[in-house]
Amino acid sequence: MSRRVSVGVLLLAFVGGAVLAVALPLGWFGHDTSRSAPPTTTTVAARHHRPAVRRVKGPHYAPVPILMYHVLGTPAATALYPGLFVNAADFKAQVAWLAAHGYHAVTLRQVFRYWRAAIALPPKPVVLSFDDGYLSDYTVALPVLRRHRWPGVLNLVVHNVRPGDITALQVRRLIAAGWEIDAHTVTHADLTGLDPTRLRYEVAGSRAALRRMFHQPVAFFCYPVGHYDAAVIAAVRAAGFLGATTENPGLGRPTDAYTLSRIRVDYADGAGGLARKLVTVRG
């Protein structure tokens, strides 16, 4: 009798081992081990150190300063719009001043997560936005911001993705560094007064093109030359954007999602001028 039991136990162990050997590669407990390598040390560490989401307890509607930059460099004597420039050394000094005074750069997406989902921001958030898409976004802004591990927000004109302005490869490197890519139309046209077809092309078309090129959400829009009206805002909403930035002076507020104000940084500002503007807009 005991011999039969022993044989039976051995037989069950053999059959069970065979079943387990077949079952594990096919996805035991819903996990397909035949296609999944064991987690590496790097993967485990990344999971372990992933920061927990902090939520705000109480009001989460504080305004956020959004800085507006264009070209980082010195304008030539023949430059048509010298006011669009900020000296590269001044930009570096402005970022250093912001960091020294407790500011921390964030993206518009982070700002909207704070406003809409109460996901906490750093104590003194600031958005650094760069309009149009110039080579200096890559050659000047990227290395300066990367030293602080800060992202920028690139409001990109689709037709500016080209050698001489900023290339697709350079935009991808900005994305890899944590930058947010948002739409600034296809051709930088003044949107007010356009017929519905052209308006849709510039607004919805720019979002579709950038999403196709860079596989990014492209959730925000920037009005060229700051011009907009009710029809333009309606087109921005219809295209699926969550919000839009203007050239209106002031702080970005959650009540003005599609007309977010910004702080224009001018050539003569330097770090001191930027500091004064931040104090002024906060009242």
What pLDDT is stored for residue 6 in this prediction? 44
Whether pLDDT at 110 is above 60: yes
Alpha carbons 121 and 103: distance in angstroms, whole number: 11
Whether pLDDT at 274 is above 70: yes
Whether pLDDT at 35 is above 60: no
Percent of the chain having pLDDT more than 70? 82
Q: Which whole number is the average pLDDT over 240-267?
A: 98
Kindly report which listed range (72-81, 132-141, 150-159, 230-239) carries the lowest average pLDDT score: 72-81
What pLDDT is stored for residue 196 in this prediction? 98
What pLDDT is stored for residue 15 in this prediction? 40
Read off the tokens for 113: 């997560």
Burial 133-144 (b: 16+ CB within 10 A, else e): bbbbbbebbbeb
- Quote the mean pLDDT of the chain: 87
pLDDT band at 39 (very low <50, low <70, confident <90, very high): very low
Q: Which whole number is the average pLDDT over 9-36?
A: 36
Would you say 150 and 128 are in contact if contact means Cβ atoms under 8 Å apart?
Answer: yes
Query: Which domains does the chain show, CATH number per domain?
Result: 2-49 (no CATH), 66-282 (3.20.20.370)
pLDDT band at 188 (very low <50, low <70, confident <90, very high): very high
**Contacts from 278-282 at CB under 8 Å and sequence distance 24+?**
278/65, 281/65, 281/249, 281/250, 281/251, 282/65, 282/251
Alpha carbons 223 and 203: distance in angstroms, whole number: 9
pLDDT band at 32 (very low <50, low <70, confident <90, very high): very low
Q: Which whole number is the average pLDDT over 251-263?
A: 98
Reported in sequence order, the residue ranges of the chain that DSSP labels E, i.e. its strands, are: 66-69, 71-72, 85-86, 104-105, 125-132, 153-156, 180-183, 220-222, 243-249, 260-264
Kindly report which listed range (4-13, 50-59, 116-125, 203-212) carries the lowest average pLDDT score: 4-13
Whether pLDDT at 264 is above 60: yes
pLDDT band at 207 (very low <50, low <70, confident <90, very high): very high
Distance of CA 189 to the CA centre of its chain: 23
What pLDDT is stored for residue 117 in this prediction? 97
42-52 pLDDT, tens per residue?
Answer: 444 444 455 67
Whether pLDDT at 203 is above 90: yes
